[in-house]
Amino acid sequence: MSTTTGFRWIVVPDDPAVEPSRDLVGGKAWSLWRMRSLGLRVPPAFVVTTEACAAHLASGGLPDGLAEELEAGIRLLERSLGRTFGGTERPLLVSVRSGAAVSMPGMMDTILDLGCTDAVETALAAESGDPAFAAEVHRRFTGFYGRLVLGCLEELDDLPDTAAVRAAIAQDGAGEVPADPREQLRAAVAAVFASSRSRRAVAYRNHHGIPDLGTAVTVQAMVFGNLDDDSGTGVLFTRSPVDGAREPYGEYLPRAQGEDVVSGRVTPEPLAHLAASHPDVHAELLAAAECLDTEGRDAQDIEFTVQGGELYLLQSRPAKRTARAAVRIAVALVDEGAITPAEAVGRVTAEQVRTLLRPSIDPAAADVAELLAAGAAASPGVATGLAVATPEEARPGTVLVRRATSPDDVQGMIAADAVVTEQGGATSHAAVVSRALDTPCVVGCGAGTVDALVGRTVTVDATAGRVYAGEVATTAVDETGDDDLRRLCDWAEAAAPVRVVAPGADVPAPVFDADAAAPEELGERLPDLPPGTRTVRGALFTTADGVRHALDGGVEVIVAAHRLPVLLAAAAHAAAQSGADERRPA
């Protein structure tokens, strides 16, 4: 199995000497190649490329030759593991995972336990000696397939067995799960392709300005975290994604599959649980995490499964992080010699710093406020709004309150000012997506939270993990009082092609003051700068567009109350222009 076997639509990323194209295989499969290259244990896999996805989306069907290459890929996995796909002895089951070139956690579909049939369940029961485990695998797969491939709208997760799930799918008129594992695979690949155009995926891309590059599909041999008492699954961040602290941050759920952790339906145990129950596995995990953090020169988000006491790594990617963590990690990596100050400037956005400079809860006001709920602080920040129960009701000025969030809630999470959940931990879907959005989020507030909050105006203090009644007073944050922000400001000053000064500083004339201009002079476009303008001031010139406009107009000085966001925007614009110049033909 190698990357150079001449397939048209699939890639086998197992040759350490041949780095696959991230654009072609997606970030997830690229990380499998990297981990394998580092000698870490990953289940074998092959990847259906983004080119196949583009061809599928253009034609509405699997491209010619893909079905045959899927079969070839399965045969490679069978030979690698000594198992048989759909076999009645030592059956091979696979996961079918989405994976775009740009990470979009939880936005596209993944189907686990594929290849399960009645006969495979019997074989799995005989091999494991645990019919209940085999039945649970079959029930889970049938639910995955019914919901994500057949489009069943019924609630399937809580049904007791495969027969009940099949009955619910039939009652919904969604069709039947094929008895042929190869038919299951072809349909699952098509469904994952289609999920790249789902409403939630489109909304996420639009929110983050990510181009539509489709998705690759990783077909990977299953490992079972729900096999026995020596099995489990979890997520580990090499540094805290909440505050950037240099310490492992994660959760572990015994006898479970990864979906149980990220869905937020179950609140996992802290990572210390794995350390206590399986210290050797925990030590191996931390060693792998340190290796990936060092090699990646960035904080990593690692998904792992333990099967029968053996650790398998399923994915490693740069961790989604809060604005506070982005600043702390960038500064720490400079101190560790991993990146340069100029690289640190490029890893923090102006918008993240603006988020950090938002007001925080006034401690005196919090002391007398009515506490309505408390949970884990998953994404810090403060927001006040009307608590609503559904993503359809969410808009600016509201707080979305759910038992747990799912990918279907993403549009509401983007629209709302804060998110609160009853269930889930710090690595749940609600927590991960909220950190990516820099939306204040408190998770795991307990049963009854939805009923207690919805309909009321509440203030979410997601830094402390608390929800208060009404609007609670806040206090302003000063960037000069934060050592990390001050150091980043010094580095950004060296990288930015413009001087940024506080109001009241001496500046060269002539000065253009956008705040002093008549509204009719501004219109909808950024104002034309008078010839020879050397200094600008006004709120317009603190935005990314305003900074670009000033730089393109030859301005030397921008006056702004908060200097760092403007410096970062200026440095980003200069870097983008430099990159464009390098790409331009001579």
How confident is the model over 358-389, as pLDDT tens digits?
888 888 888 899 999 999 988 888 999 999 99
9-23, 276-290, 460-474 — most confident range: 276-290
Cross-strand pairs, 315: 303
State the chain's mean pLDDT as an integer: 91
pLDDT over 80 (residue 434): yes
pLDDT over 90 (residue 542): no
DSSP string, 84-115: EET-SSSEE-EEEEEE-SS--TTSS-EEEEET
Q: Distance between CA atoms of 236 and 254, rounded to whole angstroms?
A: 15
User: Counting Cβ atoms within 10 Å, is residue 324 exposed (0-12), middle (13-18) or buried (19+)?
Assistant: buried
Which residue type sits at 106? G
Token pair 């072809």: residue: 186
pLDDT at 419: 95
How would residue 425 be classed by pLDDT, with cut points 50, 70 and 90?
Answer: confident
How confident is the model over 170-199, as pLDDT tens digits?
999 989 999 999 999 999 999 999 999 998
* Secondary structure letter of residue 4 according to DSSP: T
Count H helices, E strands: the chain?
22, 26
Question: What domains sit in the chain, N to C, each tagged with a CATH number?
Answer: 10-221 (3.30.1490.20), 232-318 (3.30.470.20), 360-475 (3.50.30.10), 483-582 (no CATH)
Q: Distance between CA atoms of 513 and 533, rounded to whole angstroms?
A: 10
Give pTM, 2 decimals. Answer: 0.83
Q: Is the dihedral of CA 211, 214, 219, 224 positive or negative?
A: positive
Q: What would you measure as the largest C-alpha separation in the chain, in angstroms? A: 84
Whether the upstream peptide bond of residue 510 has omega within 30° of 0, thus cis, is yes
pLDDT at 313: 98
Distance from the Cα of residue 38 to its chain's centroid? 23
Structural contact between residues 324 and 331, judged by C-beta atoms closer than 8 angstroms: no
Q: Distance between CA atoms of 179 and 117, rounded to whole angstroms?
A: 6
Q: Is the dihedral of CA 52, 58, 62, 64 positive or negative?
A: negative
Q: Which residue, among 377, 419, 381, has the nearest Cα to 402 in the 3D structure?
A: 419
How confident is the model over 480-531, as pLDDT tens digits?
788 999 999 999 999 999 999 999 999 999 999 987 776 556 555 678 888 9
Q: Distance between CA atoms of 271 and 302, rounded to whole angstroms?
A: 13
Q: Distance between CA atoms of 193 and 216, rounded to whole angstroms?
A: 8
pLDDT at 519: 58
